[in-house]
Amino acid sequence: MPKDSPTTTDGPTLRITRSARRQKTVSARLVEGGAVLEILAPAAMTDAALAPIIDNLRARVLRHAEAAKTADDEALARRARELNRLYFNNRLRWAEIRYVTNQQHRYGSCTPATQTIRISHRMAAVPAWVRDYVIVHELAHLLEANHGARFWKLVNRYPKTERARGYLIALGLEGDEGESGDLDRE
Protein backbone atom coordinates (compact mmCIF):
# COMPACT_ATOMS: atom_id res chain seq x y z
CA MET A 1 0.00 0.00 0.00
CA PRO A 2 1.57 3.30 -1.04
CA LYS A 3 1.71 6.29 1.29
CA ASP A 4 -1.67 7.69 0.18
CA SER A 5 -3.48 4.88 -1.56
CA PRO A 6 -7.03 4.75 -2.85
CA THR A 7 -8.19 1.14 -3.00
CA THR A 8 -11.51 -0.26 -4.11
CA THR A 9 -13.32 -2.78 -1.93
CA ASP A 10 -16.84 -4.10 -1.62
CA GLY A 11 -18.58 -0.92 -0.55
CA PRO A 12 -16.89 2.45 -0.20
CA THR A 13 -13.50 3.14 -1.75
CA LEU A 14 -10.67 2.66 0.74
CA ARG A 15 -8.20 5.54 1.14
CA ILE A 16 -5.21 5.01 3.42
CA THR A 17 -3.29 8.04 4.60
CA ARG A 18 -0.10 7.45 6.53
CA SER A 19 1.39 10.09 8.76
CA ALA A 20 4.74 10.32 10.52
CA ARG A 21 3.04 12.35 13.26
CA ARG A 22 0.68 9.46 14.05
CA GLN A 23 2.59 7.07 16.29
CA LYS A 24 0.28 4.22 17.37
CA THR A 25 -3.37 4.67 16.57
CA VAL A 26 -5.31 3.80 13.45
CA SER A 27 -8.66 5.45 12.85
CA ALA A 28 -11.36 5.19 10.22
CA ARG A 29 -14.25 7.32 9.07
CA LEU A 30 -16.58 7.60 6.13
CA VAL A 31 -16.03 10.75 4.09
CA GLU A 32 -17.32 12.19 0.84
CA GLY A 33 -20.89 11.25 1.65
CA GLY A 34 -19.98 7.69 2.58
CA ALA A 35 -18.26 6.99 -0.75
CA VAL A 36 -14.79 6.76 0.81
CA LEU A 37 -13.57 4.94 3.90
CA GLU A 38 -10.61 6.97 5.08
CA ILE A 39 -8.00 5.14 7.16
CA LEU A 40 -5.44 7.23 9.05
CA ALA A 41 -2.42 5.18 10.05
CA PRO A 42 1.14 5.63 11.34
CA ALA A 43 3.73 5.82 8.57
CA ALA A 44 5.85 3.17 10.30
CA MET A 45 3.09 0.55 10.44
CA THR A 46 3.62 -2.33 8.03
CA ASP A 47 0.99 -3.39 5.53
CA ALA A 48 0.78 -6.78 7.25
CA ALA A 49 0.08 -5.16 10.63
CA LEU A 50 -2.41 -2.72 9.13
CA ALA A 51 -4.50 -5.20 7.09
CA PRO A 52 -6.40 -6.89 9.99
CA ILE A 53 -6.97 -3.51 11.67
CA ILE A 54 -8.51 -2.19 8.46
CA ASP A 55 -10.80 -5.23 8.22
CA ASN A 56 -12.01 -4.65 11.79
CA LEU A 57 -12.48 -0.91 11.35
CA ARG A 58 -14.25 -1.35 8.01
CA ALA A 59 -16.77 -3.74 9.58
CA ARG A 60 -17.42 -1.40 12.52
CA VAL A 61 -17.76 1.77 10.45
CA LEU A 62 -20.09 0.10 7.96
CA ARG A 63 -22.18 -1.40 10.78
CA HIS A 64 -22.55 2.08 12.32
CA ALA A 65 -23.46 3.58 8.95
CA GLU A 66 -26.15 0.92 8.48
CA ALA A 67 -27.55 1.59 11.96
CA ALA A 68 -27.67 5.31 11.16
CA LYS A 69 -29.80 4.54 8.09
CA THR A 70 -32.33 2.63 10.19
CA ALA A 71 -32.58 5.33 12.84
CA ASP A 72 -36.12 6.64 12.29
CA ASP A 73 -36.70 9.95 14.08
CA GLU A 74 -40.48 9.80 13.75
CA ALA A 75 -40.62 6.30 15.25
CA LEU A 76 -38.37 7.55 18.06
CA ALA A 77 -40.73 10.48 18.71
CA ARG A 78 -43.78 8.17 18.74
CA ARG A 79 -42.09 5.86 21.23
CA ALA A 80 -41.09 8.80 23.44
CA ARG A 81 -44.72 9.98 23.51
CA GLU A 82 -45.85 6.47 24.49
CA LEU A 83 -43.22 6.21 27.25
CA ASN A 84 -44.21 9.69 28.47
CA ARG A 85 -47.80 8.42 28.75
CA LEU A 86 -46.82 5.19 30.51
CA TYR A 87 -44.25 6.47 33.00
CA PHE A 88 -44.72 10.24 33.31
CA ASN A 89 -48.53 10.64 33.01
CA ASN A 90 -48.10 12.74 29.83
CA ARG A 91 -46.68 15.63 31.83
CA LEU A 92 -43.39 15.99 29.95
CA ARG A 93 -42.92 18.33 27.00
CA TRP A 94 -39.90 18.53 24.74
CA ALA A 95 -39.08 20.55 21.67
CA GLU A 96 -37.26 17.80 19.83
CA ILE A 97 -36.12 14.21 20.10
CA ARG A 98 -33.99 12.74 17.34
CA TYR A 99 -31.17 10.36 16.53
CA VAL A 100 -27.70 11.82 16.05
CA THR A 101 -24.49 10.32 14.71
CA ASN A 102 -22.02 12.47 16.65
CA GLN A 103 -22.38 10.84 20.09
CA GLN A 104 -19.57 8.34 20.37
CA HIS A 105 -19.15 8.43 24.14
CA ARG A 106 -22.75 8.34 25.30
CA TYR A 107 -26.06 6.82 24.38
CA GLY A 108 -28.13 9.95 24.65
CA SER A 109 -28.28 13.46 26.00
CA CYS A 110 -30.88 15.90 27.16
CA THR A 111 -30.62 19.67 27.36
CA PRO A 112 -33.42 20.71 29.73
CA ALA A 113 -32.94 24.43 28.97
CA THR A 114 -33.83 23.90 25.30
CA GLN A 115 -35.92 20.76 25.89
CA THR A 116 -33.98 18.83 23.26
CA ILE A 117 -33.18 15.14 23.48
CA ARG A 118 -30.62 13.44 21.27
CA ILE A 119 -30.23 9.68 21.09
CA SER A 120 -27.12 8.08 19.61
CA HIS A 121 -27.86 6.35 16.30
CA ARG A 122 -26.18 3.28 17.82
CA MET A 123 -29.28 2.84 19.98
CA ALA A 124 -31.32 2.10 16.84
CA ALA A 125 -29.54 -1.26 16.72
CA VAL A 126 -30.09 -2.34 20.35
CA PRO A 127 -33.15 -4.28 21.55
CA ALA A 128 -36.29 -2.15 21.93
CA TRP A 129 -36.41 -2.58 25.73
CA VAL A 130 -32.86 -1.16 26.00
CA ARG A 131 -33.73 1.75 23.71
CA ASP A 132 -36.85 2.37 25.84
CA TYR A 133 -34.65 2.63 28.93
CA VAL A 134 -32.43 5.19 27.17
CA ILE A 135 -35.48 7.22 26.18
CA VAL A 136 -36.93 7.09 29.71
CA HIS A 137 -33.50 8.06 31.10
CA GLU A 138 -33.34 11.13 28.88
CA LEU A 139 -37.00 12.04 29.45
CA ALA A 140 -36.36 11.98 33.21
CA HIS A 141 -33.68 14.64 32.70
CA LEU A 142 -36.43 17.05 31.65
CA LEU A 143 -37.50 16.96 35.32
CA GLU A 144 -34.17 16.25 37.03
CA ALA A 145 -31.02 17.49 35.30
CA ASN A 146 -28.64 15.40 37.45
CA HIS A 147 -28.31 11.73 38.40
CA GLY A 148 -29.52 12.19 41.97
CA ALA A 149 -31.98 10.10 43.95
CA ARG A 150 -35.05 11.89 42.53
CA PHE A 151 -33.80 11.27 39.00
CA TRP A 152 -33.33 7.52 39.62
CA LYS A 153 -36.75 7.30 41.25
CA LEU A 154 -38.23 8.59 37.97
CA VAL A 155 -36.11 6.28 35.79
CA ASN A 156 -36.87 3.24 37.94
CA ARG A 157 -40.54 3.54 36.99
CA TYR A 158 -39.43 1.72 33.86
CA PRO A 159 -39.47 -1.94 34.97
CA LYS A 160 -36.48 -3.06 32.90
CA THR A 161 -34.10 -0.34 34.08
CA GLU A 162 -31.63 -2.65 35.84
CA ARG A 163 -31.67 -5.17 33.02
CA ALA A 164 -31.12 -2.46 30.37
CA ARG A 165 -28.31 -0.87 32.40
CA GLY A 166 -26.67 -4.30 32.63
CA TYR A 167 -26.94 -4.67 28.86
CA LEU A 168 -25.31 -1.26 28.34
CA ILE A 169 -22.60 -2.02 30.91
CA ALA A 170 -21.79 -5.20 28.99
CA LEU A 171 -21.45 -3.09 25.83
CA GLY A 172 -19.29 -0.62 27.69
CA LEU A 173 -21.84 2.16 27.22
CA GLU A 174 -23.03 2.64 30.80
CA GLY A 175 -20.89 3.45 33.81
CA ASP A 176 -21.48 1.46 36.95
CA GLU A 177 -22.32 4.58 38.95
CA GLY A 178 -25.25 5.64 36.78
CA GLU A 179 -23.29 7.98 34.56
CA SER A 180 -22.92 7.33 30.89
CA GLY A 181 -19.60 5.72 30.06
CA ASP A 182 -16.60 7.94 29.54
CA LEU A 183 -15.08 5.57 27.04
CA ASP A 184 -16.61 4.17 23.90
CA ARG A 185 -15.44 0.59 23.81
CA GLU A 186 -17.11 -0.44 20.58
- Report the pLDDT value the prediction gives residue 181, as an integer from 0 to 100: 36
Q: Are strands 27-31 and 36-42 parallel, antiparallel or unpaired?
A: antiparallel
Supply the pLDDT for residue 50: 93
Share of the chain above pLDDT 70, in %: 85
Indicate the domain borders of the chain. 4-70, 73-171
Read off the pLDDT of each residue in 127-155 and give the average, rounded to a whole number: 96
Let me know: does 107 contact 174? Beta carbons within 8 Å: yes
Is the confidence at residue 21, as pLDDT, over 80?
yes
Q: Find, among 97, 70, 72, 102, the residue nearest to 184 by Cα.
A: 102
Rounded CA-CA distance 76/97 in Å is: 7
Supply the mean pLDDT for the chain: 85
The better pLDDT of the pair 106, 43 is held by: 43
Confidence of residue 142 (pLDDT cuts 50, 70, 90): very high
Q: What pLDDT does 98 receive?
A: 94
pLDDT band, very low/low/confident/very high, at 125 (cuts 50, 70, 90):
confident
pLDDT tens column, 62-75: 877 776 677 789 99
Among residues 138, 54, 155, 56, the alpha carbon closest in space to that of 100 is found at 138
pLDDT band at 122 (very low <50, low <70, confident <90, very high): confident
More confident residue, 149 or 9: 149
Give the model's pLDDT for residue 148: 95
Q: Is 128 helix (H, G, I), strand (E, B) or coil?
A: helix
Q: How far apart are the first and last CA of the chain?
A: 27
Fold of 73-171: Zincin-like (3.30.2010)
SS3 content of the chain, % helix, strand, coil (to 5): 40, 20, 35
